[in-house]
Structure 1
Amino acid sequence: MPYTLMRHLRRAALVTQQIRVESTMTNLTQKDFLFRPPLAHWTKVIKEAEKIVGYPTSFMNLRWLLSDEFANLAMHLRKVVDSNHPIIKTARSIIYNEQNTLQPWGLVILLLSKAFNPSNTTLLASQVTENQRILAELTEMIRTGHYVHCGLLNVPVEEREQNMDTSMFANKIAVLIGDYLLVTANSMLARLKNQDLSYLISTALRDISEGEFFGDRDAQNMPIPGKPVMNDSDEFQISSDTLPLDVRNTLGSPIREWTLRTMYNGGSLFGRGCQGALLLSGQTLEEQEKAYLFGCHLCLTWQAASELQNFTSQKKESYSLVSAPVLFALNDNPELYSVIEEARNNLNDIDLEKFRMDVVKTDAIERTKLLYIENAKKVYNYIEILSESESEVISTIKSLVKTL
């Protein structure tokens, strides 16, 4: 094995070992990002999917984790492993977790690419496949870079000289790691030399940025749910056009607010990634738009399933205050919003376990289950419209939803 590769592997292993050290995390209720949907037979489904695409997606992380630039940042990250900074939790999610950090987004994009690519082995077809692999990887990198940036601590100016050096240093590392991933992803996108694809991904980046300014936030930039409204309209129309997402009459309306927040937090990016896969394979504009809607509703399905698990699991899972069960509970029992109002400046002051019990007493869990079922049905409908034949690839995509 070449010396350079051995050096990278040893360095990555050392950093991983350091990051696995248990540390006391701050009780942040920042929005949840789905690195892996909560599938009962996840590993089996993933292995079957990877056999079809012929590409082990677990190595998509290694391509940039073992680079010199990221390795240098990771060495600095070791200096703050004993702190309670959110970047440590983020790093552990990226480098190590119980499910081997499998990446569903990139894999689905590769599956779509496999389903709609020409079967011939010409040089042009090979180039299309390689470009789609790059698209899958850069989509994952953009999501991870945004996730890292969201893990910053807002340290008050008056406290920055009071033993806050570690937090400030960790913030700098988080900014550098996030910037590195985003810049690398954009450079990969530029190298594809496809103006239409660049336009699609740029609209997703716009949505991610606009999401950071949607709704009220506390001192740590954690989103505050909208005040519930009685005469709300629950329909949110997801459109495949590239206009900014419609924010009118969303705050306080549980389904509309939840859908919009999920689209901002990654649904739009995943949808554009699926759309881009079909664009690169030369499919019609109509087929590309269906792929976008498929990706959006698949992301919504995974998000609803993840939030359900957080509230129904025997373990005391953390949860976001803008998750679907919380928004439904606030709508069912508006008096609960007084708890949010009292902790408006710092959501960490909320007793999350007591608040969880209040949420469970409402119809929030059942309504979230219905939300999941509705989006899962739309995923099936779009994938059947996209492909009339029941191929092995399409069956595997369906399995990613069915085993939730």
Structure 2
Amino acid sequence: MVDGAKMEVGSEVDIKIARQKARKRMRVVCRRYKCLSNLKVPRSILNNSRSVSTFQTAVETAEKLVQPKNEQTFNDPFSIVSHEMSNLAKSIASLIGSGHPTLNRVSSYYFEAEGKNVRPLIVLLLSKCLSKIPLNERNRIQIDDYDVSNQPKFAGTPSEKSIAGKSINDSITPLSILHGINPRVILDPLSKPMDNLPEFDTVNGILPKQRRLAEIVEMIHTASLLHDDVIDLSDTRRGRPSGNIAFTNKMAVLAGDFLLGRASVAIARLRNPEVIELLSTTIANLVEGEFMQLKNTVLSSEDENTISVDDESKEIPKATGKVPTKQHEYSVSLPSEVDHETNVQAAFEYYLHKTYLKTASLMSKSSRAGAVLSGAQDDVIENCYEFGRNLGLCFQIVDDILDYTSSDNTFGKPSQADLKLGLATAPILFAWKEKPELGQLIARKFSEEGDVELARNAVLEFDGLEKTKKMAEEYRFKALENLRVLPDSDARNALEFLTNSILTRTK
């Protein structure tokens, strides 16, 4: 039972017919936008500024694959993606319940608005692609009973003592300890069972842990939005007041922290050390990327004991040496040479690394986590990671273009804000490459009067937006190449369509 509605699975003939219809419908849509045979988006769409973005069309098509005939009957196996996406917010709400009504209200606020939900959609579609790989080619890890419903399993069944063999809805620690109270009935939001969809699981192979992974990813992303809106002093998000405006800065920050805490518990219950490591690292990546953004570029005029925040320069306490700290090797350092070309190259490296940490890290590591949970071999896992990385970079680079070109209403959040926040994104970096004197504006974060206007005009003069678009196209192409390692399927077609459509999105 799902929301009181009976689930019906048709005969094998019905399923075969439904599959054929699904493939035909996807091919018609994909052919329309040349997303499979031609990697270029139609010129009419690129050149017509009044045309409707295909991004939302791609998201809707990918969500559905085949839309159920009505909400009461799920008689098409492909509708599992539509079902999961349409119930995503409701499923997450069951994971984030607290004992305080206001905290519940704030932490669920962004899930009420219509968001793109691209990250969980990618996880679900990629999981569906991975399910097409034969089981004998998915033996990197043993898949347990709670991963695959009614499907052939690898030799052996996890014992009752096996942590990995327990359900994602079962707590590892007694609930009375987790909640700090011992009432007669403990209602643990993280122990509410997921929808039981054995028939769909059998046909589609999306694992329960992969479905939970999609929910976790959206929780982490939403927590970062709550924090970002406080940091960036935003006043709108998804077309309505941002969390900090609707509830105050303090409540928005606390709600973001709470979401991360709930997500961390759900991560632990996936009971896979590699996946726990991947997802936990994404949280640290988001914070590290935010600190990189505070500095803006590797060439910032600040020294290591001074930082500029909200147009104010603040001297920070010097390290005492009692707690030795060391910067890890995976970072962007100041170039030893000081010529213009080297400086620009270092600035681009800094920008792309920051973009990876803030946006692409969650997409890439969740894609890799989905592949790990499927038991796929190392080459498939690596390509899934690279797909998420290239897609995430493409997505954010297009976001940086839209910041220059979209209105507030279309974008759903304040547009043309990057320069006002002192951020040097790809468009201005391309302009700086042609006009070295822009380096002074970038170093001082466009803080002086007239800097923002000068930078914006330079972007137009030196085709910064067009060059940034070509950069996004390169990452789009790489992402499509990564998908080639997966078996041909409707889900892969949908991911290809979604990847292509990112270049034409308007929000």
1:57 aligns with 85
CA distance in 2 between counterparts of 1:45 and 1:152 reads: 31
1:355 aligns with 455
Query: Given that residues 397 and 468 in structure 2 are in contact (C-alpha distance below 8 angstroms), is that contact kept between their aligned partners in structure 1?
Result: yes
* Superposed counterparts of 1:158-307, under 5 Å: 170-214=248-292, 217=294, 223-227=295-299, 245-248=330-333, 252-253=344-345, 254-307=347-400
Q: Percent identity at matched positions?
A: 26
Query: Given that residues 298 and 333 in structure 2 are in contact (C-alpha distance below 8 angstroms), is that contact kept between their aligned partners in structure 1?
Result: no
CA distance in 1 between counterparts of 2:355 and 2:329 reads: 14
Q: Could you tell me which runs of 5 or more consecutive residues in structure 1 were left unpaired when the two chains were aligned.
A: 1-37, 78-89, 156-165, 218-222, 229-242
CA distance in 1 between counterparts of 2:214 and 2:456 reads: 36
TM-score normalised over the length of structure 1: 0.68
Task: Say which SS state the counterpart of residue 271 (structure 2) adopts.
Answer: coil
Query: Given that residues 332 and 363 in structure 1 are in contact (C-alpha distance below 8 angstroms), is that contact kept between their aligned partners in structure 2?
Result: no
Shift of 1:351: 5.8
Query: Given that residues 144 and 178 in structure 1 are in contact (C-alpha distance below 8 angstroms), is that contact kept between their aligned partners in structure 2?
Result: yes
CA distance in 2 between counterparts of 1:274 and 1:73 reads: 30
Query: Given that residues 204 and 269 in structure 1 are in contact (C-alpha distance below 8 angstroms), is that contact kept between their aligned partners in structure 2?
Result: yes
Q: Does 1:326 align with 2:428?
A: yes
Higher helix proportion: 1
2:115 aligns with 101
Task: Say which SS state the counterpart of residue 478 (structure 2) adopts.
Answer: helix
What do residues 238-282 of structure 1 show as CA deviations (whole Å, max 9, x unaligned)?
xxxxx9733235875343122101111021121010001111111
CA distance in 2 between counterparts of 1:39 and 1:206 reads: 37
1:29 aligns with none
Shift of 1:312: 3.7
Aligned Cα RMSD in Å?
Answer: 3.6
CA distance in 2 between counterparts of 1:278 and 1:152 reads: 34
Query: Given that residues 258 and 327 in structure 1 are in contact (C-alpha distance below 8 angstroms), is that contact kept between their aligned partners in structure 2?
Result: no
CA distance in 2 between counterparts of 1:246 and 1:372 reads: 22
Query: Which residue, out of 331, 339, 344, partners 2:441?
Result: 339
Q: Does 1:115 align with 2:129?
A: yes
Query: Given that residues 296 and 445 in structure 2 are in contact (C-alpha distance below 8 angstroms), is that contact kept between their aligned partners in structure 1?
Result: no
Query: Which residue, out of 66, 72, 77, partners 2:102?
Result: 72
1:86 aligns with none
Query: Given that residues 403 and 417 in structure 2 are in contact (C-alpha distance below 8 angstroms), is that contact kept between their aligned partners in structure 1?
Result: yes
Per mean C-alpha deviation after superposition, the further-off stretch among 318-327 and 52-61 is 52-61
Query: Given that residues 197 and 279 in structure 1 are in contact (C-alpha distance below 8 angstroms), is that contact kept between their aligned partners in structure 2?
Result: yes
Task: Say which SS state the counterpart of residue 122 (structure 2) adopts.
Answer: helix
Look at both structures and tell me which one has the larger radius of gyration over its CA atoms: 2
Shift of 1:341: 4.5
2:223 aligns with 145
Query: Given that residues 279 and 365 in structure 2 are in contact (C-alpha distance below 8 angstroms), is that contact kept between their aligned partners in structure 1?
Result: yes
Task: Say which SS state the counterpart of residue 150 (structure 1) adopts.
Answer: helix
Shift of 1:179: 0.8
Query: Which residue, out of 474, 477, 480, partners 1:377?
Result: 477
Q: Could you tell me which runs of 5 or more consecutive residues in structure 2 were left unpaired when the two chains were aligned.
A: 1-50, 66-80, 135-147, 154-197, 234-243, 301-327, 336-342, 409-413
Shift of 1:103: 0.4
Q: Structure 1 residues 178 and 396, CA, compared in 2 at 3 Å: closer, same or farther?
A: same
Shift of 1:44: 2.8
Shift of 1:355: 3.1
TM-score normalised over the length of structure 2: 0.55
Shift of 1:369: 1.7
Q: Structure 1 residues 109 and 337, CA, compared in 2 at 3 Å: closer, same or farther?
A: same
Task: Say which SS state the counterpart of residue 229 (structure 2) adopts.
Answer: coil
Per mean C-alpha deviation after superposition, the further-off stretch among 169-178 and 105-114 is 169-178
1:393 aligns with 491
CA distance in 1 between counterparts of 2:490 and 2:253 reads: 42
- Give the letter aligned to residue 351 of structure 2: W
Task: Say which SS state the counterpart of residue 401 (structure 2) adopts.
Answer: helix
CA distance in 1 between counterparts of 2:291 and 2:400 reads: 23
Query: Given that residues 343 and 350 in structure 1 are in contact (C-alpha distance below 8 angstroms), is that contact kept between their aligned partners in structure 2?
Result: no
Shift of 1:94: 5.1
